[in-house]
Amino acid sequence: MKLTFLLLLAAFIGTNAVALPFQKLKNDTISAPFNKDFVYHVKKMHAEITIDGQIDEPDWLAAEKADNFYKVLPVDTGFATQPSEILITYDDKALYMAQIFYDTIPGKRVMESYRRDFSFGNNDNLLVFFDTFLDQTNGFSFGVSASGAKWDGTMSDGSAVNLDWDCKWESKTKHYDDRWVTEMRIPFKSIRYPSGSRKWYTNFSRLDLKANEKSSWAPVPRQFPTASLAYTGVMNFEEPLPKSKMMFSLIPYVFGGYSNDFEHGTGNVWKKDFGFDAKVGFSSSMNLDLTYNPDFAQVEVDQQVTNIDRFELFFPEKRQFFLENSDLFSGFGDNNINPFFSRRIGLDAPVLAGARLSGKVGNNWRVGFMNMATKETNDFLARNFTVASIQKKVFARSNFGFILVNKEYIDQPSDTTMYNRVAGFDYNLASKDNIWNGKFFYHQSFQPGNPDKQFAQGFGLTYNTKNLQLEIMQRSVGENYRAEAGYVPRTGYNYISPEVTYLFVPNKKVVSHGIVVDFRYYFDPDFHKIDHENNISYQFEFQNRSSLVFGYQDHFVELQQDFDPTHKSESFLPAGSKYNFGGAFINYTSTRKTLFNWNAEIAKGTFYTGNIQYITGELGYRYQPYVNLSVNFNYTDMKLGQPFEHTKMWLVGPKMDVTFTDKLFWTTFVQYNEQIDNMNINMRLQWRYAPVSDFFVVYTDNYLPGSWNSRNRALVLKLTYWLN
């Protein structure tokens, strides 16, 4: 505890030492976006605006209109079928936005639910993207669906939006026969921007499912998302924005619960405790997050999958503390060589406390620092995790960065030295028009008693136009590379993967179609081939946004370790054995504008020593906007021959998501998984009784199929309140 306190204090002092005078942007170092001629002038307010969904105040009548939205999908030529208008104004405390989306096509507007951070493709919606630091890489996104559900997230990597970030803002949506209208008020203290700003980069995006169109104010090529910050327009404020002040938010929480692990005979265990999160905004661009005794029981449960792979599966981080500016910590390497993966923290021991500093220093520098401590358990010593990173923008939209990750055991025996460290360098390439993207990285691990070959290196380059996409990926990972706080499912290999996609865009009932050829080759350190996966497929995208893909996969594997493809047998395939197998597949995704929607993939072919066939997908039906019913499913049938038994495995996950209002939600998720002989029930009630303040009730039960005896059971109550 003493160590953690000192680390938090050091982080606090270090943050105060940041050279805040360098926060002011210098215009001569800012590169203009591709759509620099799309300019919106924001006038300052002269009276009050009531957020009621009625656009009738004088400041709205005087505001400039952003209209004439350009089509992005199904094709990026011409204007959208149905008109759209955006109005913006501001005062000394907040930004105000009004949206008017005209809609005269017969039929109900598509609105899935009232749930915050709605699914983009399942709702008519407005999304807004703000690049407040003019770097065309990072920013903030806000939006509303036709039901009035909110969307907010942080942006990184030029277009990625992380929706697990929430802030305080308000909106109101109203429906009329020929249009739907929203007013929004976003406090300046909820987002970060340079002191004295008079310019942001921005774009506005509309998804109109009834018209089968996606459109934007500043035009975006169809191969890119409308969130692409390379294609924003410019928003000029009439007067400089208010100078940011030091902000402080405290989020205390109390929680209590009951649990019983029947398998291990623990009996009834009752728990009550408290903790807090805190946010300290030292400037409009630098933020310190603190946490003590966090509890993550309210985090959504992972969707299970049937595992027939040889390597560890990846499940995304969902805990909010780790998510703001998360690319500064988790954006190094690539999907299969990541030196820091925050889910390693708290995976096998409770988190005691932590601090996270992140933000910008000056025009072109970003910094990140995280320090987390976990408690000692019967199985593990207390551990400390430290991550430090720095990133420098170069050229129009590229950057390079350095990262240092340290995992160290606390109060370890005097005759041992236990730690794991990784240092790395990454260069990320992004051209001004986003057509060229790439990455190069080199990482080195350090661990006592571990010999050489502790390196990981990778390179990638992508060329992306409307018709043609070319990609080349390369990796080399040393046999002794260890990133214990990261995600590295395999080591000791060299990898090369070229991919070619060519699309025809006729813009008829079939909007686009084309071929994809993908080769993936793995070699051992001596460049002897140990794996390949070659894929060829043909894809169709239809006017109603449904899609069809079919193709063939060819595999070769020389096992480096014993392997059981079923993950439930006592038999295995021996290391050193070689296999050639492959099969055909077909995948279909239906339109999302109908109340019933579905997707499915069917595959059949050879698999190691035998045959495999499977069907996987999801069925969904909505009673909009209150109830969403869905079932994800997977049926796998493997006949591997002796000594393996004929294996059939079902995974079925029915889910009911009820949004009574925009403040009261109830989710029930049941997952029956034959591969691990378990049925899990997870029920979660969330009441947002005040802005970003919640009361949660979470119930979890695991059963043993067959006898239906309970394996373990838990009930948790948690209350949070945001003070600022």
**pTM for the full predicted model:** 0.88
Q: Rounded CA gap, 463 and 239, in Å?
A: 40
- In the chain, % helix, strand, coil (3-state, to 5) comes to 5, 55, 40
- Residue 462: name the closest of 495, 439, 493, 445 by CA: 439
- CA angle, 205 then 206 then 211, to 5°: 150
Q: What stretch of H or E contains 58?
A: helix 58-62
- Are the C-beta atoms of residues 78 and 68 closer than 8 Å to each other? no
Question: Which two structure tokens, joined as six digits, stand for 91?
Answer: 């005062």
- What pLDDT shows up at residue 20? 33
User: How far apart, in whole angstroms, are the C-alpha atoms of residue 580 and residue 555?
Assistant: 6
pLDDT confidence of residue 339: 96
Question: Going from the N-terminus, what domains does the chain have, and what CATH number goes with each?
Answer: 31-237 (2.60.40.1190), 285-437+445-466 (no CATH)
Are 80 and 208 a contacting pair, CB within 8 Å?
Answer: yes
| The residue to which tokens 């020389």 are assigned | 558
Give the pLDDT confidence of 35-65 residue by residue, as tens digits. Answer: 999 999 999 999 999 999 999 999 999 999 9
pLDDT in the model for residue 14: 38
84-90 and 39-44 as β-strands: parallel, antiparallel, unpaired? Answer: parallel
Dist CA 410 CA 128 (whole Å) = 45
Q: Please report the pLDDT score of residue 11 as a whole number.
A: 39
Cα 651 from Cα 673, distance rounded (Å): 5
Expressed in angstroms, the distance from the first to the final Cα of the chain is 27
What tens digit of pLDDT does each residue of 555-610 get? 999 999 999 999 998 899 999 999 999 999 999 999 988 999 999 999 999 999 99
Measured in degrees and rounded to the nearest 5, phi and psi for residue 50 equal: -95, 130
Residues in the chain with pLDDT < 50? 1-28
Q: Which of 42, 34, 166 is nearest to 97 (CA)?
A: 42
DSSP state of 327: H
What is each CA distance from 457 to 440, 491, 492, 519, in whole angstroms? 8, 11, 12, 20
